[in-house]
Amino acid sequence: MPMPEKGQPFTYAQYMMLDEDVRYEVIDGQVFNMSPAFSARFF
């Protein structure tokens, strides 16, 4: 699913349609693609 246009609030329905394999964070209606979390092997 494409990201919403800049300035348009992100809805819960749009959030539910996002790919589950990608980490996202929604802050004040704006969507941010998050970096993967570090694994224990990293350290």
Average pLDDT, integer, range 14-38: 82
Angle at 15 between CA 21 and CA 26, to 5 degrees: 90
Show the tokens assigned to 15: 């959030």
Q: Tell how far CA 16 is from the center of its chain.
A: 10
What was the pLDDT predicted at 6?
63
The larger pLDDT score, comparing residue 7 to residue 3, is at 7
| Residue 43 clears pLDDT 60, i.e. is over it | no
Strand segments (E) across the chain:
24-27, 30-33
Task: Look at residue 12 and tell me whether its pLDDT is greater than 80.
Answer: yes
Report yes or no on whether pTM surpasses 0.75.
no
